Amino acid sequence: MMSLLWSSLFRRKARTLLTLLSVIVAFLLFGLLRSVAAAFTVGVDIAGVDRLVVQPKYSIIDPIPLAHLNQIAAIEGVANVTHADWFGGIYQDRSNFFPKFPVDARGYFSLYPEYRIDPAQLEAFANTRTGAVAPKQMLEEFGWKIGDRIPIEADIWPKKDGSRLWEFELVGSYDAPGVEVPPSEFLFQYDYFDEARQYGNGGVGWFIVRVTDPAKSAETASAIDRQFENSPNATRTATEAEFAMQFANQVGDIGLMMTGILGAVFFTIVLLTANTMAQALRERIPELAVLKTLGFTDVTVAALVLGEAVLLCALGGCVGLGIALLLEGGIATAIKGILPTFAVSASTLLGGVALAVVLGLAVGMLPALRAQRLNIIDALREH
């Protein structure tokens, strides 16, 4: 059966190869674009279900007074609260992008129990004015060692003396075993940052809140926002997943854009492949009639035609996805400053294979039904 499928598929080699190439390109785009969309929304997938993020109501670049922290902590439903800010900054070159947050050492790690750090290193972080910690994979990537001084050139926060060079002493490292996406934040002492920066003193970028009952997160978020609704620093509180999605959507609805592009590509592929299968069926009507004369049942002949379509799409899909997987490393290196979590995941590959099979069934169903209903006498008379 398989040899018959192969010989039928490549009966017209040029046409089949051109169609196959189109399918390969379509699934190459599928693998890469789906991976880009997933990289933009990776924070949504790993967000804690029991965490809220309190941010400025009108603009994410507005500071929130650190004094809000104690008021938030006193609200019913709040179990714990800490703060963070966006530092920006450049390490050696703009291509070496990674998030840099000034935080309260103990408070931040208490809100993220999935982040594991040696207790002695956490104490060193909390007690070292210029101390910083980084993910273990970041130490490996840049060749850092505990005790190194890490220079960061500020692009948002100059120092009071006008200097843009900040130096941090690396006192520890952390990781997140069991978490699908490893952490990427370079963390340093908020007190040092706030004392040394030129402006914005006493403000933070956002608060992270752990709630006592995740089922009542909406009520707790509303209570926090009501607390500050009449103040000059009104807030907007959302779940951590919603906060991550807001960051992703700053460049647009990535998922919708990728879906639109892929929809247009696959609509074209469906038309192209369906046309190829229709032409192949018309050319092979006498052959199919002969097969029925030799004893092949209607169902078997229909299965041959349908199998040819599925084989064409599955072959093109697997090759295209395979190329996407081969390109993953190079693309990830090239765009690590923009999308450090870019990867072609197993779910993307499996989804692509499933889509290829469905595509084959869709374009092959009508020709298969026509082959099944083919009348031997009429087919041979007409041809």
Residue 322 scores a pLDDT above 60? yes
Where are the domains positioned within the chain? 2-42+253-382, 43-251
Cβ contact 376:287 at 8 Å: no
Question: What is the edge-to-edge ordering of all strands in the sheet holding 235-239?
Answer: 78-84, 206-211, 51-56, 235-239
Angle between helix axes 13-40 and 346-372 (nearest 10 degrees) is 140
Residue 97 scores a pLDDT above 80? yes
Quick one: CA torsion of 156, 160, 166, 172, rounded to 10 degrees?
-100
Q: How far is CA 114 from CA 52, 156, 174, 183, 255, in A?
A: 16, 30, 10, 10, 28
CA 318 to centroid of chain Cα atoms: 21
What mean pLDDT comes out for the span 174-185? 83
Residue 293 scores a pLDDT above 70? yes
Longest pairwise C-alpha distance within the chain: 95
Name the least confident of 102-111, 150-159, 281-290, 323-332. Answer: 281-290
Contacts of 121 (CB under 8 A, 6+ apart): 133, 146, 171, 172, 173, 174
Contacts of 170 (CB under 8 A, 6+ apart): 132, 133, 134, 139, 144, 145, 146, 147, 148, 149, 150
The total of other beta-carbon atoms located within 10 Å of residue 175's CB is 15
pTM for this predicted structure: 0.68
Q: Residue-wise over 341-357: b if at least 16 C-beta within 10 A, else e?
A: bbbbeeebbeebeebbe
Measured CA to CA, the distance from residue 97 to residue 79 in angstroms comes to 33
**What's the DSSP call for residue 197?**
B
Q: Of the spans 14-18, 227-231, 315-319, 379-383, which averages the highest pLDDT?
A: 315-319
Measured CA to CA, the distance from residue 271 to residue 103 in angstroms comes to 55
Average pLDDT over the chain reads 85
